[in-house]
Amino acid sequence: MKKVWKLLLIAVFAVGFILLIILMLIRFTPQPPIGEMEYAREILSSAGRDKAETYSKKYYHEAKIYYDSAMVNWRKENKRFLYFRNYDRVAMFAELSSKKASQAAVNSKFSSSDLKIKVKNKIDTLNGIVADINNLFTTYPLTSEIRSRISKGKFLLKEAEIAFTKGQYLQANRKITDSEYLLTGSYENSITNLKNYFQSYSLWKKWIDTTIKESQQNHDYSIIIDKFSRKCYVYLNGTKQHEFDTELGRNWVGDKREKGDKATPEGMYKIAQKFGSNKTKYYKALLLDYPNEEDLKIFRGEIAKGTLPASAKIGGLIEIHGNGGKGIDWTEGCVALTDREMDVIYNIAKVGTPVTIVGSTVDLQQALNR
């Protein structure tokens, strides 16, 4: 009996001793930063859902690097003997990751929100420019290069709009930036060309006023051709009697410089000759006294400056004639009317009737407002 009690006591002490050892082992085991790592992972995941990888790439990338560094260090420490492990670096990287991920999330929300507004504004602005281009340059000739840039700009704008509706603001921003470059450049270039065209407006105004006054003083007809509006105005006694549509030379912008340039000249002319239907292939024609003294002076000056080759010819045979109504600028520099309207003018006009051809009868602002 005594022996049994002795054995029992030894067993109890042994178990107690083992339990004590186990408790001591658990108590002094280094504790990994489980909570910190979980927090870092959750914040990083949340930042990812907020599209931080797109809108706050730098911070998100840094947060990921810190998190990966924490995991690498954790694995490294876990390979060591239990009681030699030190998780301080793991905790440090976890904290850095959390901070960066929080920054990334906040930054992403602001960036995407700002970007959304910025892109929307740009889309609206560029749509306005497209509308202006469509309104202003329906009749004004643009070079094929400008037209190509405008069409590419419009296409990129459409791509930007599609990306925007899908919430892909970064993609939309890239497209809109390229579109903006093409459209605003083309628009500004075209407006500059238009402004250059209208630089002579004050001179045209003088010619118009002189021609109308002449009609008033002579109690007779005068004709004014407005190139920009493609109009032919017939005045009698200083009052407008008729208004006809016209078609011009293919290269109607600017003054005529030399033979074959397909430009319609600008200046104050008079009818030099009348050709009936048997004397012209254009139904009926009124030959103008182009080139006048001013035209000759300018032409000689260009030859002297070398802006025209010495072999250039000034040209001539500028007429108001029929066969118009094609809907395009097709002549070699003449002013074309429909045959019916040509009949009206032919009957009114005589040799010496003033014909003044101007770039526009209104200034640029009025032309744009029309």
Residues making contact with another protein (CB under 8 A): 7, 10, 14, 25-26, 29-32, 34, 37-38, 41, 45, 48-49, 71, 74-75, 77-78, 82, 85, 87, 134, 137-142, 144, 147-148, 150-152, 154-155, 158-159, 162-163, 166, 230, 245, 247, 326-329
Q: Of 188 and 209, which CB lies nearer to another protein in the complex structure? A: 188
Query: What are the strands of the beta sheet with 354-358, ordered from one edge?
Result: 239-245, 231-236, 221-226, 354-358, 267-275, 285-288, 319-321, 335-336
Burial degree of 22 (CB within 10 A; 0-12, 13-18, 19+): exposed
In angstroms, rounded to a whole number, what is the distance separating the alpha carbons of residues 101 and 342? Answer: 79
Please report how close the Cβ of residue 239 comes to another protein at its closest, in angstroms.
26
Q: Which of 66, 74, 101, 67 is nearest to 90 (CA)?
A: 74
CB of 303 to another protein, least distance (A): 33
Rounded Cα distance, 204 and 233, in Å: 14
Toward another protein, which CB reaches closer, 48 or 354?
48
Q: How far is the CB of 93 from another protein (least distance, A)?
A: 13
Minimum CB distance to another protein, residue 275 (Å): 26
We find the least distance from the C-beta atom of residue 191 to another protein, in angstroms, to be 16
Cβ neighbours of 351 (radius 10 Å): 12
For the record, the structure tokens of 248 come out as 């011009």
What minimum distance in Å lies between the beta carbon of 14 and another protein? 7
State the Cα torsion 225-231-236-239 to the nearest 10°: -110
**In the structure encoding, which two tokens stand for residue 121, read together?**
């504004």
Query: Between 333 and 354, whose beta carbon lies closer to another protein?
Result: 333
For another protein, give the closer residue by CB, 115 or 298.
115
CB of 330: closest distance to another protein in angstroms? 9
Minimum distance of another protein from residue 214's CB (angstroms): 29
Nearest to 89 by CA among 30, 17, 11, 6: 30
CB closer to another protein, 154 vs 321: 154
Return the number of the residue (71 or 303) whose C-beta is nearest another protein: 71
- With b for 16 or more beta-carbon neighbours within 10 A and e for fewer, the 147-158 pattern comes to eebbebbbebbe
Return the number of the residue (228 or 269) whose C-beta is nearest another protein. 228
Note the helical H segments in 31-87. Answer: 34-49, 52-55, 57-78
Which helix (H) or strand (E) segment holds residue 271: the answer is strand 267-275
Q: Which is nearer to another protein, 179 or 215 (CB)?
A: 179
The residues, ordered by sequence, that sit 6+ positions from 223 with a Cβ below 8 Å of its Cβ are 232, 233, 234, 235, 320, 345, 349, 353, 354, 355, 356
